[in-house]
């Protein structure tokens, strides 16, 4: 493969995670490695707010900014996208001629030959479209999508960077909530609402305590199964017979068989710029249902943003892998790979062993991976041991961010 000499640009897109900056640090480390070895990539630019900022030439010189090792370590421990993010998807090639011409002009101006885009499903769509464009525009470029999403819903890759840290936060927090709820003797139901519009991966993580000491939610409901209010009330009543403090984990996206979100019972749905339904209050809707139909004490807790940005409780495995895929993206690109998304292949679960690889991004974008049948119990109200065993290695290891005056240090670019 011929050496392609030029500069690189990296962007972050989509929702923040606790590990997306670790992947950014990985890309920076990869470029610094390449530089050390007399590589082809000279300067690594960061685009502020993804392609939105790139189109406005809001660029920052990352190779210069992160020459200092401590800054890179702090970046790895900083939650959310340090470069800023966007929700912008590129138009199709036929519809967005002007946009692509503008991009080409900027690539030429800054001699950008490498394009790294860290994000989830919508971001892989951007990487795929740009890959398509790069093939026909006559300007040689290498484009790599680098996955991150707490949702764990990308196909081909065994799991996504960012998911393990969110899973560790959810597993830990739900267990702390279980301890908190166990202190009173009065019958009470606590409903924990967890992120996950179409896939229940994060909600599965609420059951991680099973392999530690058996403490996990009494019931777990995922969007992969139709939600039935009568069956739900039956399950809750049965759980209340077993012990007084019932804790239930639910995905925000659980739906009835006729496709209605549970939260629509409260009329609280709205739509985001991509036409996705914005869900709020599914836990609240179930709280009202239990209150009305069972009449015991009931509360709901929405884990909300902290589940995706709690860097102070990141999984060491997740952060290490996030750096690895970032670094791997640069290595792959410098070796000639393009139009690919980086992937993590699981070679073995026990002992846990992975391999960093990559796969055609156009075959990955705009598809979603659900929790498989064998991870969900027959009754559709909990997860199987197989699911817990799949999840466990992803939350292994604790990360120790640097604290200053009692608070974790964050890097702001």
The residues that touch its own copies, with contacts defined as CB under 8 A, are 12, 16, 49, 52, 78-81, 84-87, 168, 171-173, 175-177, 179-185, 190, 208-209, 211-213, 215, 301-306, 308-313, 315, 392, 395-398, 403-410, 412
* Minimum CB distance to its own copies, residue 387 (Å): 15
* C-beta of 58 vs 331, nearer to its own copies: 58
Per the rule left: phi > 0, alpha: psi between -120 and 50, beta: everything else, 146 is beta
For residue 16, give both structure tokens.
């923040």
Q: Which of 122, 125, 151, 153 is catalytic?
A: 151
Told to judge if 235 belongs to the known catalytic residues of this protein, a careful annotator would answer no
Helix/strand/coil for 26 = helix
* Minimum CB distance to its own copies, residue 193 (Å): 10
Residue 166 Cα distances to 81, 82, 219, angstroms: 15, 18, 20
- Positive or negative: CA dihedral 63, 68, 69, 73: negative
* C-beta of 87 vs 89, nearer to its own copies: 87
Q: 219-221 and 245-251: which strand pairing?
A: parallel
* Minimum CB distance to its own copies, residue 53 (Å): 8
Per DSSP, 376 falls in state B
Give residues with Cβ within 8 angstroms of 405, minimum separation 6: none
* Minimum CB distance to its own copies, residue 87 (Å): 7
Residue 389 Cα distances to 196, 218, 343, 384, 395, angstroms: 20, 18, 20, 9, 11
Do 269 and 277 touch, CB atoms closer than 8 A? yes
* C-beta of 94 vs 185, nearer to its own copies: 185
* Minimum CB distance to its own copies, residue 56 (Å): 10
* C-beta of 187 vs 231, nearer to its own copies: 187
Helix/strand/coil for 296 = coil
Q: Nearest-CA neighbor of 166 among 349, 319, 377, 385?
A: 319
* C-beta of 177 vs 263, nearer to its own copies: 177
* Minimum CB distance to its own copies, residue 405 (Å): 5
Residue 251 Cα distances to 71, 335, 378, angstroms: 36, 41, 18
* C-beta of 212 vs 345, nearer to its own copies: 212
So which residues are the catalytic ones?
151
């Amino acid at each position: 493969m011929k050496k392609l000499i030029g500069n690189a640009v990296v962007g972050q897109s989509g929702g923040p995670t606790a590990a997306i900056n670790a992947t950014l640090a990985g890309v920076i480390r990869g470029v610094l490695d390449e530089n050390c070895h007399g590589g082809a990539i000279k300067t690594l630019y960061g685009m502020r707010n993804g392609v939105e900022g790139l189109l406005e030439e809001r660029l920052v010189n990352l190779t210069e900014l992160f020459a200092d090792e401590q800054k890179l370590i702090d970046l790895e421990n900083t939650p959310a996208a340090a470069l800023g993010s966007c929700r912008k998807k590129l138009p199709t090639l036929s519809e967005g001629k002007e946009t692509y011409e503008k991009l080409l002009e900027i690539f030429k101006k800054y001699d950008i030959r490498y394009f790294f885009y860290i994000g989830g499903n919508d971001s892989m769509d951007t990487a795929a479209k740009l890959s398509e464009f790069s093939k026909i525009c006559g300007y040689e470029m290498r484009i790599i999508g680098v996955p991150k999403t707490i949702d764990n819903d990308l196909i081909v890759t065994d799991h996504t960077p960012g998911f393990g840290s969110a899973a560790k936060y959810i597993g830990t927090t739900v267990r702390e909530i279980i301890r908190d709820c166990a202190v009173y003797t009065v019958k009470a139901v606590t409903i924990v609402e967890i992120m996950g519009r179409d896939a229940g991966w994060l909600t599965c993580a609420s059951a991680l305590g099973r392999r530690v000491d058996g403490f996990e939610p009494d019931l777990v409901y995922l969007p992969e199964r139709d939600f039935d209010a009568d069956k739900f009330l039956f399950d809750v009543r049965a759980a209340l017979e077993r012990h007084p403090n019932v804790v239930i984990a639910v995905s925000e996206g659980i739906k009835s068989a006729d496709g209605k979100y549970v939260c629509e019972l409260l009329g609280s749905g709205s739509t985001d710029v991509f036409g996705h339904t914005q869900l709020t209050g599914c836990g609240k809707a179930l709280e009202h249902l239990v209150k009305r139909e069972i009449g015991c004490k009931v509360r709901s807790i929405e884990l909300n943003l902290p589940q995706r940005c709690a860097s102070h409780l990141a999984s060491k495995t997740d952060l290490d892998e996030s750096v690895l895929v970032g670094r791997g993206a640069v290595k792959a690109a410098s070796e000639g790979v393009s139009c690919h998304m980086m992937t993590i292949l699981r070679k073995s679960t026990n002992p846990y062993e992975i391999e960093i690889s990559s796969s055609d991004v156009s075959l990955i974008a705009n598809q979603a991976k659900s929790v498989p049948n064998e991870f969900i119990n027959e009754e559709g109200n909990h997860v199987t041991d197989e699911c817990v065993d799949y999840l466990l290695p992803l939350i292994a290891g604790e990360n120790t961010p640097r604290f200053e005056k009692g608070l974790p240090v964050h890097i702001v670019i």
